[in-house]
Structure 1
Amino acid sequence: MARMKPVTRAACIAAARAVTGDKLNEWELNRVLDRVDEVRAKLGAETGAAGLNDKLENAIREEAEGIRIEAARQRRNAALTILKRDRLDNQIATMVGGGMNRPQAVLSLLEGSQQGIEMGRFSAGAVVKSWDNRLTGGLMAEVFEARPHLADIIDDDTLNLDIRREMHELRDGGTPGITGNDDAVHIARGFAAWAELARKSANRLGAVIGKLEGWAPQIHDAVKLIKAGQDKWIDAILPRLDLTRSFGKDATPESARTALADIYRTITTGVARAPNAAAKGEHQGPSRIARRLEHERELHFIDAAAQHEYQGQFGYGNIFAAMILHQRRAAAVIGQMDVFGPNPEVMIRSLLEAQKRALRDDPALDPARREKLVKRLDFDGSAIGDAYKELTGVTRQAVNITAARWFAGMRNFTMLSKYGSAIISAVPTDPVMAAAAGMFRGSGFFRTFTRQIAGFLDGRPKGERQQVAFLAGEGYQGLIEHILGTQHTLDGPVGYLSKMTTALFKWQGAQWWDDVLRATAARIVSADLALHAHRAWGELPPRFAHVLGLNGITAEKWEIIRTSVQRLDEGGTAYITPDRAGALADDAYLPLIADRLKAIAERMRGPDKDVKIAAARARLIAEARDEVLMDVQRFIADEVDYAHMRPDAASRRLALQGTRAGTRAGEVMRFITSGRSFMIAFTNRALGRAFFGGAGATRGQRAAGNWRHIGTLTAGLLLGGYAALTMKDVLKGRWPPRDPGDPATILAALVQGGGAGIFGDFLFADVSRFGNTVLDTAAGPAIGSASQLLQVILKVSHGDAKAADVLNAVINNAPFANIWWGRQAFDVLVLNSLREFVTPGTLRRQEQSMKRIYDQRFYLPRETIFK
């Protein structure tokens, strides 16, 4: 038999050129040829000499095609990066021109700014939130709006299995409807459609993620995996997996076990088993998010039943929880790429270096000031680095999962005993915050206040109103909490405490209140867009145009948004929602892409020029359509967060300082800031906007031009705080209301309203917004409770404890003991008798003290059974 000639270098080049259409450049061809020897050695060892040339040529063709695709993707991502960099540089220049220093300008890209500068509210944090609202809110609208009864059966095990079976049938050759469960079919299709939107959105921003046929979401419970151990977990999951789909066509049980060991390590610790370049002392640039998305391991089960069994053994929650978490993870990554491109960390580091150079070249700065600003532009150990950790979720990744869960359980226990009356402070003050937000954007304080109250009286929205709220990303947090909050492992104290905390906020009405107020605020903002839709940009009220500009909505974009087809609710109120802003005819978006399309057309050559221009036009219109949709989504989300405070990216960064759960520093910060989310968010957002968010070229002009807003906000919160004080006094059995002219009452009302922040709590009040003591305010309620219990234990051990000390410690730390609708009855029926029994005369001394300090008396019976 004649000896076969080896494949020559020329043949390799010919094969590579043939498969790529002669589109590889010289460097790319050399990459192919450099792989020839490696591939030949591998194939020769596997197959011997027979057929080596044909197999080698086929392998080289595949390698060349892969390199061509990779090169095309790199060129596309390079173009995306250039576009993002140009936009970011312009935004930094705008921020600096508005009076920010360069570190503040870069920080604003991550978490936004309260300064009234154009684009000041456009940030990665805001974009991530708007993507979350879009992907999760759209999903909720798709699944629950037409079938509200599903909210009552989401925990049904049969329904969950049927949904998984239907999702596994959504593939070529599948049989949708196999379960005969119409609800399961509806949910599966909704889940698949919104997961597909997340995938396509990531791909548009630089990833290359293939469509997963027959896919269903999965949650792994790290605690359960740790309890089982690596080997037991692998033994349990391996028979349930489709090895070929999960690990490749050449996968064997042995290679799968190796891969699963690495996955186990990643799930339980967040650290890869194999040492990375940094661990080995090698240089490695920050990895691209877009590339990581492509290589994340997706485990495919042999069928829905196998996945469902695994979920019960090593997961938590249900398929609804898994889907929501999938969408939120996708939103976090897509939002980062949307602002910073395929490699956010590299982009941020590059921006920091550019700003350092600008500072060093600035002759107007004195050396000490320059050095201070340059140091603040370091990525590690700076506010910017902490903000990036918060944005990417690093602070939420536990270093020690067991410790993090137990410490979280301790904080939950504190909530059970301290936050039973949180709703009482919120009821009179939250509508004031919403009215102030409406006033800031020019809609009027009293007009917004009455609309907010009307929404409260209407209750949970239904029909088209619910659809508007869901599409805006609001009004379903209570349902989310029901799906996620009670789904974690419940086989130990930590899990039960988590479930009880969710129940506490539900039973006192806080969940209902939160959903109704935020849904109403979202509808108000959407209605304000429709209300002004008949006005061109130059005719808009100045305040409304100012707030649009803060969120990056320009005159060109407004002219597009205002032509949206409006939704009408049952009462005839018109709304502009994000989906409608993104559903206009293609020509509507042409003004946004005209310049770019013209530049592309001028560069085009060849006989297929018109085809290429048409393709470029379609792509640019799709991008513009999505940009306008997300602008509306972000605008509504940001305004709702001013109307009904929640911690934003900046508030979380201020609270956690870049620390991670399960570390000493991280848990200390979480204990200290526990219960302070409202105060931090209020101080940063409400006060920051009031003092610096108005229109003007300088800080002074922005503050001076906003004095009416500052005065109205202060007066409104003063009245709301006084109402909260009065409500709490009534619930405690005290009457009449405190003297509103007393300076002590005024300061206490400011504290209750949130206007004095943490300093007011510490200096002027005995109790804070949630009824905590001065020690709680200084060190956190959990630490305060632990301190009180420790003191009582020490007194008991030394024989110095009094019965009253023990009783007070038990009452102050008893779960559910201070829930607002039950505490007074508990006092009258039980606690007053116990107090009088252990310390005779207690009730009389309390009444005398109350009369002296507040000029109040108890209007409920104070008699006891121990007379």
Structure 2
Amino acid sequence: MNFADCLQAAVAAGELNPERAKLAQQRWRELSDRYETAGMSPADARQTAADELVTGITREVIKRRHVTVRQLQTLQKNQARYANADDPDLLLQDVEHIQSEAGTIFKQAMSGLQQFLADHREDIFGRVRDRAQLQDILRELHGEDSGNANAKAIAGGVDQARERLRNMFNSLGGDIGKLDDYGVAHVHDGQKLRAAGFDVWFDDIWQRLDWNRIENFKTGKPFAPSKGVRPFREDAIAFLRPIFDEITTKGWADRTPGFSVGARALFNGRGEHRVLHFRSADDWMEYNDSFGGQNTFEAIIGQFHTMSRDIARMRAFGPNPKAGLENAIQVLEKAAQLAPRNPKAAKAGVFRRVLRLGLQPEELVQMKARKARVMMGILSGELNRPVDQATASILAGTRNLLTAAQLGSATISQVTDLPSMRLAARAIGLNPNSPLKLLFNNVLNGMDPTVAKDLGFILDSWAQSSATYARFAGDIWSPELTGRISNFVLKANGMTYLTDRERVAVAMAFGSDMAGMAGRSFDQLPKNMQNFMSNRGIDARDWDLLRDPSVIYTDAQGGKHLNPNWFRDASSLPAHEAEDLAIRFGALIEDHIEMSIPSSSLRGRASLIGENRPGTWTGELMRSSMMYKGFVLSQLFNQMRRVRELDGDIGTRAWYAATMVAQLTAYGALAVQLKEIAKGRDPRPMISGKFWAAAFMQGGGVGIFGDFFSASTSRAGGGFGETLAGPVVGLASDVSRAVGSNVARMAEGKSPLIGRDIASLGRRYNPLATLWPTRIALDRLVWDQLQLLLDPEAEEQWYQAERRMKRNYGTESWWQRGDLRPRRAPDPGNIIGAVQ
């Protein structure tokens, strides 16, 4: 019986779908003809084709069985978690937690690569360090001997970390084969591919690929029998054409718009990123110069980021996270429909309150579901891909330049991190002084290199240049050059340095304080700590495993540390169990860091930006509006959750809220005064309501709105409405006002004030406009002198502005406008209203 007869017999027995049998028979005939044309006898050609198809089908069956098991586990998990949930916000909390787990997985993967990050992190100008060694690392990753022992060691560490992520991905239903000498994944520049066209791109890449290492998905075997041999050109074209279309159309080449909410499953997608293998490191680099979208360092780090994010999504919602999320939503929808007849829902929780108000529980679920879908779209990157590349690039670049111009003094605002760090620790029963003590020690003396290495601490900015930028401006896709400018300013003003060390200090303090509690059972921990842990999946059994003395790290000074990286390596648990608990404990720490040092809120971005993608006018307007508001949204959502988790009655929660407001306002007052001095003005009198309103706004992370309590415009230059719309709209308004006012003056027969407007716009929007160490000197020595040359009414304008400031806000300049040097020092006595 030949292969075709076998297929027909299987169909007749009901063991094979007729359509699948037809496709398999067609492919068998194609392969048979191909091998016979290549010189095989007809019998050998038919047998070889049959063997290849059977191998491929068997492999696919095994893969599908593994995926099906993981999908069933996801359905069971969703049912257990959401069927009796009395608050559908649990779904949003779980999606938010993906971000924490992704950060943890990434940090744990990078924990053995501190030397790689230290050697090749971006410098202050955004340039990758030591490019020569980076090329040697790339050669080692391609299995070539670079002759550089350090590069060989680093490449070994990269391979080890990637192998760990591969195994994690596969354990969750993925299908990534083990590949030696894999090299580095490419990020292709779709614009470059579109500009070149398929034929030019194909001619370049097909001669650079190692076809012996590229699997033909139809047969499960390599395209070529040995290295250096190319497949039939038509086979290569059939293989590469879909890849070209996928890159240049962002995945829409093989998708049809419709009503389906499904997505390409991650268990398939991650393997597809590994299908192209280059013959050598030089081929990789030459192709990357022509068609790549990242440098070597970014490509290596980027792969760790995307793998970590995908693993975290699969941990939460299975091999196809989008489908898993939809199943969770359906479970919640069923619970909402049954809520009026569910005794538990009728007596407690959010559904009870919804029913009491006469609302329908399913409406609440639908609202949460919409936001959960948006949050997942942001996490997957689906909602971050530009619709119109040119529009997105121009406006993202504009936002970067505005960030450089307007966040130069943001470091001063970081004084409010100090009370935030203390309160976050105190709220869950930790020592509130521990993070501050470690912060000052790390700043003054640096981190202990042995402890940092053993516990895997890395500085965020070493592995993600936009980490600090995201605190105030949001996580925005942006072009490279303007991104470098904004990152330069945030590094030059010290914000990146401080944020890095604050986050490490909080993590170290958490681990140290938790080690100090290791002698207590779970029910002996502070109640708020129990709530904090339980709500993030750490229970009494987990705590007993974590506090085992054998897995607690002891440093050279005898200090104890409870650390997820150390636990994972020291634990006697099966590897997968130790890995799982280490990730959950690490995510707990990430959540505590976010509570201590708010950055960019995933929920806040979903609330404000929604499904509006970059490159659309609505999406760009929303992203402009989001600038500088991510911090306050993160603060808001963090504290709402923290208050819900606090043990005690409403009085306890009210006391916590009042304490936080008081302390943040006090430190906000300090930030306001420091910024006044940086602007060349005396501290403001602290006896006015306007001052304390500004301090309150500054302490809450809304300093841009606090500016309205000290001036008629914000630091970005616009009125209240323009500030709500964001700095990009403010810039457009400033330019249009300058043009319109001069046109109006000329229409009235007056001389235009073009010189004043040029000086004003230059002063406000140059990349160093607010850099606090040089701000006042740049203002007085450059922009004031330029205005004197161009604006005949400059001195009169300055005189009137000084009088208004003194009359309305009780302060004056210690470095007068137009002066080449200050006449005196700032007057600290003005805080009690000394200026008359």
TM-score by length of 1: 0.81
CA contact (8 A) 2:172 2:319 kept: yes
2:296 pairs, out of 302, 312, 319, with 319
2:236 pairs, out of 245, 253, 256, with 256
SS of match in other structure, 2:736:
helix
Deviation at 1:772, TM superposition (A): 6.9
Q: Distance in 1 between matches of 2:715 and 2:654?
A: 26
Q: Distance in 2 between matches of 1:392 and 1:767?
A: 38
2:720 alignment partner in structure 1: 774
1:742 pairs, out of 682, 685, 688, with 688
Q: Distance in 1 between matches of 2:579 and 2:14?
A: 38
2:161 alignment partner in structure 1: 194
Distance 1:729 1:255, change over 3 A: same
Aligned: 1:106 with 2:91 = yes
Deviation at 1:630, TM superposition (A): 0.7
1:793 pairs, out of 722, 727, 739, with 739
Deviation at 1:720, TM superposition (A): 0.9
Q: Distance in 2 between matches of 1:80 and 1:709?
A: 42
2:113 pairs, out of 113, 125, 140, with 140
Once the two structures are superposed, the pairs formed by residues 591-740 of structure 1 within 5 Å of their partners are 621-685=574-638, 687-695=639-647, 701=649, 703-735=650-682, 737-740=683-686
Q: Distance in 2 between matches of 1:715 and 1:47?
A: 80
Aligned: 1:267 with 2:247 = yes
Aligned: 1:86 with 2:41 = no
CA contact (8 A) 1:651 1:677 kept: yes
The amino acid across from 1:413 in the alignment is L
1:383 alignment partner in structure 2: 371
Aligned: 1:554 with 2:539 = yes
Once the two structures are superposed, the pairs formed by residues 427-466 of structure 1 within 5 Å of their partners are 428-459=415-446, 461-466=447-452
2:804 alignment partner in structure 1: 849
1:578 alignment partner in structure 2: 564
**Structure 1 residues 435-467: Cα deviation after superposition (integer angstroms, max 9, x where no partner):** 1111112114345444444444334x2403433
1:414 alignment partner in structure 2: 402
1:609 alignment partner in structure 2: none
2:831 alignment partner in structure 1: none
Deviation at 1:238, TM superposition (A): 2.7
The amino acid across from 2:511 in the alignment is S
CA contact (8 A) 2:442 2:505 kept: yes
CA contact (8 A) 1:691 1:706 kept: yes
CA contact (8 A) 1:420 1:818 kept: yes
Q: Distance in 2 between matches of 1:571 and 1:140?
A: 25
1:826 alignment partner in structure 2: 778
Q: Distance in 1 between matches of 2:204 and 2:7?
A: 49
Deviation at 1:505, TM superposition (A): 0.9
Once the two structures are superposed, the pairs formed by residues 55-66 of structure 1 within 5 Å of their partners are 55-57=45-47, 59-66=49-56
The amino acid across from 1:158 in the alignment is A
CA RMSD in angstroms comes to: 3.7
2:518 alignment partner in structure 1: 533
Q: Distance in 1 between matches of 2:83 and 2:369?
A: 24
The amino acid across from 1:75 in the alignment is R
Q: Distance in 1 between matches of 2:567 and 2:192?
A: 45
CA contact (8 A) 2:468 2:499 kept: no
Aligned: 1:236 with 2:204 = yes
Q: Distance in 2 between matches of 1:725 and 1:346?
A: 48
CA contact (8 A) 2:416 2:664 kept: yes
The amino acid across from 2:75 in the alignment is R
Deviation at 1:732, TM superposition (A): 2.2
The amino acid across from 1:660 in the alignment is R
Deviation at 1:40, TM superposition (A): 5.2
Deviates more, 1:842-851 or 1:341-350: 842-851
1:215 alignment partner in structure 2: 182
**Structure 1 residues 177-213: Cα deviation after superposition (integer angstroms, max 9, x where no partner):** x221112112211111111111111101101211122
Q: Distance in 2 between matches of 1:653 and 1:149?
A: 31
The amino acid across from 2:138 in the alignment is R
CA contact (8 A) 1:241 1:299 kept: yes
Gaps of 5+ in 1: 17-24, 112-122, 170-174, 486-492, 590-620
CA contact (8 A) 1:441 1:547 kept: yes
CA contact (8 A) 2:117 2:462 kept: no
CA contact (8 A) 1:166 1:185 kept: yes
Distance 1:810 1:770, change over 3 A: closer
Distance 1:381 1:224, change over 3 A: farther
1:299 pairs, out of 263, 271, 276, with 276
Deviation at 1:750, TM superposition (A): 0.8
The amino acid across from 1:214 in the alignment is D
The amino acid across from 2:495 in the alignment is A
1:594 alignment partner in structure 2: none
Distance 1:483 1:125, change over 3 A: closer
Distance 1:839 1:54, change over 3 A: closer
Deviates more, 1:366-375 or 1:474-483: 366-375
Distance 1:79 1:240, change over 3 A: closer
CA contact (8 A) 1:478 1:515 kept: no
1:611 alignment partner in structure 2: none
2:61 alignment partner in structure 1: 71
Q: Percent identity?
A: 24
CA contact (8 A) 2:461 2:500 kept: yes
1:334 alignment partner in structure 2: 311
Count of residue pairs the alignment pairs up: 775
**Structure 1 residues 481-527: Cα deviation after superposition (integer angstroms, max 9, x where no partner):** 29999xxxxxxx95432221111111111111111111111111121
1:27 alignment partner in structure 2: 15
CA contact (8 A) 2:436 2:505 kept: no
Q: Distance in 1 between matches of 2:768 and 2:121?
A: 30
1:345 alignment partner in structure 2: 322
Distance 1:856 1:379, change over 3 A: closer
CA contact (8 A) 1:422 1:770 kept: no
TM-score by length of 2: 0.84
Deviation at 1:48, TM superposition (A): 6.2
CA contact (8 A) 1:468 1:523 kept: no
CA contact (8 A) 1:425 1:770 kept: no
Deviation at 1:536, TM superposition (A): 2.0
CA contact (8 A) 1:690 1:706 kept: no
CA contact (8 A) 2:718 2:734 kept: no
1:480 alignment partner in structure 2: 464
Distance 1:56 1:682, change over 3 A: same
Q: Distance in 2 between matches of 1:370 and 1:393?
A: 38
**Structure 1 residues 812-855: Cα deviation after superposition (integer angstroms, max 9, x where no partner):** 12221221111111233344445565333334333333332333
The amino acid across from 2:591 in the alignment is D
CA contact (8 A) 2:404 2:767 kept: yes
Distance 1:763 1:74, change over 3 A: farther
Q: Distance in 1 between matches of 2:366 and 2:136?
A: 52
Distance 1:693 1:743, change over 3 A: farther
